[in-house]
Amino acid sequence: MPSIDPNTGLEFFDLSQPWGHGTPVWPGFPGVTIERGSFHALMGTLTQRFSTTMHASTHVNAPLHLVPMAAPIGAVPLDHFFGPAVVLGVNVGKWDLIEPEHLEACGVEIRAGDIVLINTGWHNQYGDNQPYYAHAPGLSQASAHYLIDKGVKLVGIDTAAIDHPLATSLGPQRGGPLLPRLAAEYQVETGADPTDKFPEWQPAHKALLQAGIPTIEDLGGDLSEVSNQRLTVVATPYRWKEGDASIVRVVAIRDPKASETATTAPVAHHDLTHGWGYDVNCWPGKNPIHDFKRHQFHARDGAFVLHMSTIMHRGTHMDCPLHVLAGTHDITGFDLWKFYGTGVVVYIPKKRWEVITAEDLEAATPAIQPGDIVMINTGYHKHYGDNPDYYAYSPGLYKEAAEWLVEKGVKLVGIDVQALDHPLGTYLGPHGPGPMQPALIDEYKAETGRNMSDDFPHWEPAHKILMSNGIPGIENIGGNLDELSGKRLTFAAFPWKWTGGDGSFVRVVAFEEPIIGQKPEEA
């Protein structure tokens, strides 16, 4: 069932499988592991450390995954991941090859610049089981070239791989056979020799990636509800500078009031996200530093796969109530419509330790309206880095400003500093398990003549006020923020579908014209 925006009527369909503990992974890949880094009872927050490859659950592959020296996921042009789309419901079953005639039989025109998502029905088998991985249909090389010739910009499928399983390492291909009996089973059942039928390793996948077309695997969710339709799709991966892939939330949007659901013209867009990777900054607390290692190498395996261990609260990311309020909902508990819509970038310049006030928000231009997505530019994104200026001395929101945003009825808030709260309202100062940096107390007294505990008596009030009122919060926004200040725009920022998640990496995109729905100036 769609999530419906009560203000615009736009319908949002989640086409993603869940991610988290117990997520199925490609046979032979390391499983997803999750452990708590901080506990509500001890730290007042829940923070979870996870280890995973990006090839678990619904994910998008960069050309670098299979093409040496090609673009990593953070370098793929952003416009590949949003815009007009077709969802094709193909009539195939176990071990079938999806040929061009299957795609044409859906009766939906594929246009240049389209996103193409393929529903084989195999997402209903999704799980840690061999039928899902070993018996699936797959895209033929001819179909890959058919889509390339059509000029599509992104291809997704509801199976574990773009290619037929006998054209992967599960069968007698490079790195295989991971399932040695599979080839014999195929020959007995079909009467065809798999080495004759599938002489090449991942030919469809390689053809698409060599053409610069990213691919999505493991689609699911509401896919069958939108099959053989034209829609608008957003599937923006995290801005991982070195990454071979990214877990992604794939969302289809439909406007029931419009005859065409997406513009066909190029849409001016801007990335409000900091790049993420080996050098990503860490909050100066107790959570361990992130770690990366290679799981597969081009020279050995023919593919490039990185394995990471980190937490979600680094780089540009979204917080949810469970992060700061015990017993509340996780990142999947927000309605999808919260993450897309019109709003503003307001420039509220602030210096070291200054507080963003309710008066600042009231006076901001353009005026903040009910239902807005609000992005706050203090100018401090220019300090972003592994330094105390950014973390310990930044400005920030506090209690009164958060209350104002709730009263105004906004639906999402982002800010270009280290946290939704002023740093002296966090446990860097004398709150919760703090002070993590006790020298700040005396430094503040010497600089202002006031006591820190008097000026900042509450522990993370902005987090708690926004979260308890159903308003997602994004920290560490950046990118093209300055050139958008003072503008009314359309935003998209869809988090991972992490069951039990305390937050999520997120790609924040601003559109000068909406990819679907009303124009910002009409909102």
The predicted-structure confidence for 260-284, as pLDDT tens digits, reads as follows 655 556 789 999 999 999 889 888 8
Strand 340-347, strand 373-377: pairing: parallel
Query: What is the reported pLDDT for 264?
Result: 58
Q: Which two three-digit tokens encode residue 262?
A: 């997406």
In degrees, rounded to 5, the angle at the alpha carbon of residue 215 between the alpha carbons of residues 213 and 217 is 175
How far lies 467's CA from each of 7, 375, 461, in Å? Answer: 21, 16, 10
Instruction: Pull the structure tokens for residue 451.
Output: 């006591």
pLDDT digits (tens, 9 = 90+) for 434-443: 899 999 999 9
Portion of the chain with pLDDT greater than 90, in percent: 91
- 113-130: pLDDT as tens digits: 999 999 999 999 999 999
Q: What is the mean pLDDT of residues 230-249?
A: 97
The predicted pLDDT at position 266 comes to 78
Q: Summarize the confidence of residues 356-368 as an average pLDDT.
A: 98
Least confident of 260-264, 350-354, 413-417, 429-433: 260-264
Per-position DSSP letters for 416-480, written without gaps between them:
SSSSSB-GGGTTTSSSTT--SSTHHHHHHHHHHSS-HHHH--SSSHHHHHHHHTT--EEESB-TT
pLDDT confidence of residue 305: 96
pLDDT in tens, 285-320: 766 678 899 999 999 999 999 999 999 999 999 999
Instruction: Assess whether pLDDT exceeds 80 at residue 479.
Output: yes
**How sure is the predictor about 42, in pLDDT bands with cuts at 50, 70 and 90?**
confident
| Average model confidence (pLDDT) across the chain | 95
Name the DSSP letter for residue 337. G
3-state secondary structure 104-169: HCCCCCCCCCCEEEEECCHHHHCCCCHHHHHCCCEECHHHHHHHHHHCCCEEEECCCCCECHHHCC
Using a 10 angstrom Cβ sphere, with 0-12 exposed, 13-18 middle and 19 or more buried, the burial of residue 23 is: buried
Q: Which domains does the chain have, with CATH numbers?
A: 11-17+57-163+202-266 (3.50.30.50), 312-522 (3.50.30.50)
Say which amino acid occupies 401.
A
pLDDT digits (tens, 9 = 90+) for 209-220: 999 999 999 999
Q: What is the pLDDT of residue 289?
A: 75
- Give me the pLDDT at residue 272, please: 98
Question: pLDDT over 70 for what percent of the chain?
Answer: 97
Catalytic residues: 65
Render pLDDT for 481-520 as a digit per residue (tens, 0 to 9): 999 999 999 999 999 999 999 999 999 999 999 999 877 6
Nearest in space to 24 (alpha carbons), one of 200, 220, 184? 220
Name which of 494, 108, 161 is nearest 317 in CA terms.
494
